Amino acid sequence: MAGEARKVGVVGLGAMGAGIAQLCVEAGVETIGREVTAELGERARDRIAGFLARKVEKGQLDARERDAALARLSLTTEVADLADCDLVIEAIVEELDAKQRLFAELERVCRPDAVLATNTSALSVTEIASAISTPERVVGMHFFNPAPLMPLVEIIRAERTADDAFETAYAFGERLGKHPIRCHDTPGFVVNRVLIPLLNDCVRVLDEARVSVEDLDAGMKHGAGWPMGPCELIDLIGLDVHVHASEALWAKLREPRMAPPPRLVAMANAGLLGRKTGRGFYRYES
């Protein structure tokens, strides 16, 4: 496998992918970001530039370092342009078929020794890897949102992941300044396997204990030491993202606590997705 990743591709430059690309260029890594249209790619570059500009304003980065980081990011709409990457990190939509199609395409265009990583939060890395004839090169790298700020990355070993691919991904997580943890492929991995049913329980308590959103959040912050209340956290994650992950865990495990509560499903269907839409459990100014 690739060993040290000197050139990295990031496929999908939405909120997660753009954050991962930002981490890469800040760490001094030549990075190619792939989006389906040039407009989406430029929009992601602008977001990254904005985040770096704020770091300059806060004195966390100087202007020369910012310019050098942005210069390390190139954009493309062609998967073929990732051919000479040592590591490619996928961060596209959370749909198994779409990920499997992408990995089959990556296998065709990337070097045989390149490591292929998925940032999936809820799907099986083993199932994603099953779409290609070299599943030993596939590993999970689950970053947390927002990727530039959250220190954790889960490095997930699928059923057929090779040791060298796994260690390449782990070492790259360290290079990005993250705290990587090792785990095996299981529904929800480590954090979401614990957190999703816990957040679902919190939402069910809203109705069962007839507690307000504000009091529930205050209870968990002041009684359990949480830095953020559960409703605040779900708003930050996005209700649609949480419901999707809950449904994926429920489908795999059939444990009642994994199923999304009806209140969350109704809110997601109504477009009350949290911070990104300006309203979820709370209202947010744009």
Q: Are 5 and 172 in contact (CB under 8 A)?
A: yes
Q: Can you list the alpha helix ranges (DSSP code H) found in the chain?
A: 15-26, 38-57, 63-71, 96-109, 125-129, 163-175, 191-208, 213-224, 230-237, 239-253, 262-269
CATH number for 7-184 (one of 1.10.340.30, 3.20.80.10, 3.40.50.720, 3.40.50.300): it is: 3.40.50.720
- CA angle at 149 for the pair 234 and 238, rounded to the nearest 5°: 20
Sign of the dihedral defined by the CA atoms of residues 102, 108, 109, 114, in that order: positive
Longest CA span, the chain:
57
Based on the residue annotation, tell me whether 192 is a catalytic residue of this protein.
Answer: yes
With tokens 């954009």, the residue in question is: 75
Based on the residue annotation, tell me whether 246 is a catalytic residue of this protein.
Answer: no
Using DSSP bridges, classify how beta strands 179-184 and 138-143 pair: parallel, antiparallel or unpaired. unpaired
- CA angle at 43 for the pair 34 and 234, rounded to the nearest 5°: 90
Look at residue 1 in the predicted model and tell me its pLDDT: 57
The tens-digit pLDDT sequence of the chain (286 residues) is: 556 899 999 999 999 999 999 999 999 999 999 999 999 999 999 999 999 999 999 999 999 999 999 999 999 999 999 999 999 999 999 999 999 999 999 999 999 999 999 999 989 999 999 999 999 999 999 999 889 999 999 999 999 999 999 999 999 999 999 999 999 999 999 999 999 999 999 999 999 999 999 999 999 999 999 999 999 999 999 999 999 999 999 999 999 999 999 999 999 999 999 999 999 999 998 7
CATH number for 193-277 (one of 1.10.3720.10, 1.10.1040.10, 3.40.50.620, 3.20.20.140): it is: 1.10.1040.10
Structure tokens at 59: 């004195």
Look at residue 122 in the predicted model and tell me its pLDDT: 84
Return the number of other C-beta atoms located less than 10 Å from residue 25's C-beta.
23
Structure tokens at 165: 């691919």
Neighbour-count burial of 252, counting CB atoms closer than 10 A to its CB (0-12 exposed, 13-18 middle, 19+ buried): middle
**Residue from 121, 124, 200, 246 carrying the catalytic annotation:** 121
Tell me the C-alpha to C-alpha distance, in Å, between residue 196 and each of 39, 83, 86, 188, 223.
34, 37, 33, 8, 20
Based on the residue annotation, tell me whether 154 is a catalytic residue of this protein.
Answer: yes
Task: Give the global pTM.
Answer: 0.92
**Residue from 26, 119, 124, 192 carrying the catalytic annotation:** 192
Tell me the C-alpha to C-alpha distance, in Å, between residue 260 and each of 1, 129, 188, 257.
39, 27, 14, 8
Structure tokens at 186: 């299981």
Q: Where are the domains of the chain?
A: 7-184, 193-277
Q: Are 185 and 124 in contact (CB under 8 A)?
A: yes
**Residue from 26, 107, 124, 142 carrying the catalytic annotation:** 142
Based on the residue annotation, tell me whether 121 is a catalytic residue of this protein.
Answer: yes
**Residue from 26, 90, 107, 154 carrying the catalytic annotation:** 154
